[in-house]
Structure 1
Amino acid sequence: MQTTVNANGSLFRRGLKLAHLRLMAALGETCAIGVAAARVGITQPAASRLLGEIEEIIGRPAHTRAGRGIVLTPEGDILARRAVRALAELGAAEREMSEMGRGLSGHVRLGAVTGPALDRVLPALRAARVALPNVTADVVVAPSDPLGDLLLAGRLDFALARLPEGREPTLFDLTAMGEEPVSLVVRPGHALARRAVITPEDLLAYDWVLPEPGTLLRRTVLERLAALGLPPPPGRLSTSSFLLTLAMLRESNAIAPLADAVSRRFASGPEGGLVVLPIDLGFVVPAYGLMTLRGARLTPAAERLRDLVQAQTG
């Protein structure tokens, strides 16, 4: 059954204001008009006028006199309790907006190629758990070209990548951050893992797992081998999937070129299971950088997380 309060429309359409809510919340706590008036910063006559307006708006008494104080009616008590909750929500909204403006809350979308994802993004996210506990993030790990497309589509705030091929460089701002050295890795127990000295010819006696044709890492490896006067390595599998590469390494005698950051992580610690071969053929993928759309302005939260990423030593 509808009450009188609901019959004539919403309280706000009938004139209920924030000042009314503040007074009712104070009355619910003090049960004294004078004390409630002082709490909200108005005079007692002004509080009495506001209380009269409230009762006119709800169409029922909100209080009764009781000695030197007042007692809220059931309707007044309902409004006072709800007023406390409404004011608490408004206060929370103010704090949340303030934090968002200072970059202390919000959602960030970033991307990274594999090495920087481990060397910079991962430690930055660990630091953000303490420094920015109310900032959440989506992270896309992919080659530079797809990351550039995601930036152009507005689906990333920034990326640790290289300028995408086939795209106009002036579409992006790029701040150089560092090169990405590459190691050769095998499974534990591999024959080459037991050797102190390895020659390039030794490497070419085994299958290699290379990234897909057209990828930067594959091109870097093949161009460097050619510069050393070596033929392309034998290989039955080409893939850009790290999980498939890892499985192939662990279940065969294959060799794979991986970014140093990946090699170090999977050659030590609880994830151990790869061995870095003691040979340096000079594989270095060209420098990557922090990439954004040209002229784009990051949100405060994205700026904060970007600063944490840049603060990592790599």
Structure 2
Amino acid sequence: MNSSIAGLSSQLRQLRQQHLRLLVELSDSGALGVAAARMGIAQPAASRLLAEMEANLGIALHERQGRGLRLTPAGAALALRARRIQIEIADAARDLAEAATGRAGVVRVGAVTGPALNLVLPALKELQQSHPHLRSEVTVTTSVALCDQLRAGRLDFALARPGPEDGELDARLIAGEPVSLVVRRGHPLLVLPRIKPADLMCHDWVMGDDETLLTQSVKARLAELRLPMPQRRISTSSFLFTLALITQTDCIAPMATPVVDSFAGNPSIPFVSLPVDLGLAVAPFSLVTRAGSQPTPSARRLIEAILARCSEVSLAQWAGAE
């Protein structure tokens, strides 16, 4: 280690938690007043903290930008480390609480819809049998939102599709996700002796906008099959609104097969999958964690239960995208 790095290392050790938190808040807000309010301190106090850091390190961490400010490259780099330190301290507190009480703590898991129903839900049900004090917070949303929350420390891990070059996250590929075509019970297509692709194109399809993964995957597969694009007079990414549409109209909705399977066998459910296979699927999802982090004991238990569940589920269910 050269002398300049050794000197910076010594100076960094003098920073307090308030210094680190201020950098994180400035990175998020770009405004000293907002950062101070979030920390519960006055703006002059926040200004002094920032000046202390820069004086101790001998490096400019911010620069003025109009009425606000922005972090310099050095400030942004330190803010990234500061965020990780804060997350690790919070996780350490959860580890200590579990060790001190001997009870399972809180696990915060995120997932896209299919894996949430097919993997997270059964794994949680099984785990709560052996760890009745375990509490869980489950977030079901898009991969982009899940990865953002994971980087911010609001999730322990996620079942999602991260970007291909996200250095802040580690991803363990799990499986592809097949897609079914769903209609209401009593749909005219269900009385046909054999459903042909051309028959499908006679009905509206309900999907999200063109930027959603499901819509992109469906359109790409239809193009591969040289089929025309279906009519979409209504687009929505809302699961509940999609269910309302397919139960009240003759439209067709592509849905993740695990979502549909979670309702299979219940005659009161007003929708069913069409008995037709176009090979529709979305890209494989992964088990995603923060790079270099260690999950809390409760998160580790849930990860193990999910991975065990993966090995029990027939891979034929997930093979559509592979």
Provide TM-score, normalisation by structure 1. Answer: 0.65
- Does structure 1 residue 142 correspond to structure 2 residue 152? no
Shift of the 223–124 alpha-carbon distance from structure 1 to 2, 3 Å rule, reads same
Q: Distance in 1 between matches of 2:278 and 2:134?
A: 42
Secondary structure of 2:299's counterpart equals helix
Secondary structure of 2:244's counterpart equals helix
- Does structure 1 residue 247 correspond to structure 2 residue 238? no
209, 213, 223: which is aligned to 2:210?
Answer: 213
- Does structure 1 residue 109 correspond to structure 2 residue 108? yes
1:154 matched to which residue of 2? 153
- Does structure 1 residue 286 correspond to structure 2 residue 272? no
Tell me if structure 2 keeps the 8 A contact 1:102–1:300: no
Tell me if structure 2 keeps the 8 A contact 1:101–1:300: no
Tell me if structure 1 keeps the 8 A contact 2:118–2:262: no
Using the TM superposition, give the Cα deviation of residue 102 of structure 1 relative to its aligned residue in structure 2, in angstroms: 9.4
Q: Distance in 2 between matches of 1:103 and 1:192?
A: 56
Shift of the 175–277 alpha-carbon distance from structure 1 to 2, 3 Å rule, reads same
Q: Distance in 1 between matches of 2:101 and 2:200?
A: 53
1:179 matched to which residue of 2? 176
Q: Distance in 2 between matches of 1:170 and 1:271?
A: 46
Residues 1-314 of structure 1: pairs in structure 2 closer than 5 A: 99-100=98-99, 104-164=103-163, 168-269=165-266, 272-312=269-309, 313-314=312-313
Q: Distance in 1 between matches of 2:254 and 2:101?
A: 42
TM-superposition CA deviations, 1:179-226 (whole Å, max 9, x none) = 100010100000012223111110010010112321111100000001
Q: Distance in 2 between matches of 1:270 and 1:150?
A: 37
Tell me if structure 1 keeps the 8 A contact 2:134–2:298: yes
Using the TM superposition, give the Cα deviation of residue 100 of structure 1 relative to its aligned residue in structure 2, in angstroms: 3.9
Q: Which amino acid aligns with 2:129?
A: V
Using the TM superposition, give the Cα deviation of residue 273 of structure 1 relative to its aligned residue in structure 2, in angstroms: 1.7
Shift of the 292–233 alpha-carbon distance from structure 1 to 2, 3 Å rule, reads same
Shift of the 179–271 alpha-carbon distance from structure 1 to 2, 3 Å rule, reads farther
Q: State the number of aligned residues.
A: 217
Q: Which amino acid aligns with 2:300?
A: E
Using the TM superposition, give the Cα deviation of residue 98 of structure 1 relative to its aligned residue in structure 2, in angstroms: 7.7
TM-superposition CA deviations, 1:151-175 (whole Å, max 9, x none) = 111111000111147xx42221111
Q: Any gaps of 5 or more consecutive residues in structure 2?
A: 1-94, 314-322
Using the TM superposition, give the Cα deviation of residue 145 of structure 1 relative to its aligned residue in structure 2, in angstroms: 1.1
Identical columns (%): 46
Secondary structure of 1:170's counterpart equals coil
Q: Any gaps of 5 or more consecutive residues in structure 1?
A: 1-95
TM-superposition CA deviations, 1:223-259 (whole Å, max 9, x none) = 0001111121101121111111111110100100001
Q: Distance in 2 between matches of 1:227 and 1:240?
A: 24
Shift of the 170–203 alpha-carbon distance from structure 1 to 2, 3 Å rule, reads same
TM-superposition CA deviations, 1:124-176 (whole Å, max 9, x none) = 111122122111011111121111111111111000111147xx422211111
Tell me if structure 2 keeps the 8 A contact 1:110–1:137: yes
Tell me if structure 2 keeps the 8 A contact 1:222–1:232: yes
Q: Distance in 2 between matches of 1:179 and 1:197?
A: 27
Tell me if structure 2 keeps the 8 A contact 1:211–1:218: yes
Provide TM-score, normalisation by structure 2. Answer: 0.64
Using the TM superposition, give the Cα deviation of residue 279 of structure 1 relative to its aligned residue in structure 2, in angstroms: 0.8
Q: Distance in 2 between matches of 1:101 and 1:302?
A: 17
TM-superposition CA deviations, 1:239-288 (whole Å, max 9, x none) = 11111111111010010000111112234226522111111111111111
1:64 matched to which residue of 2? none
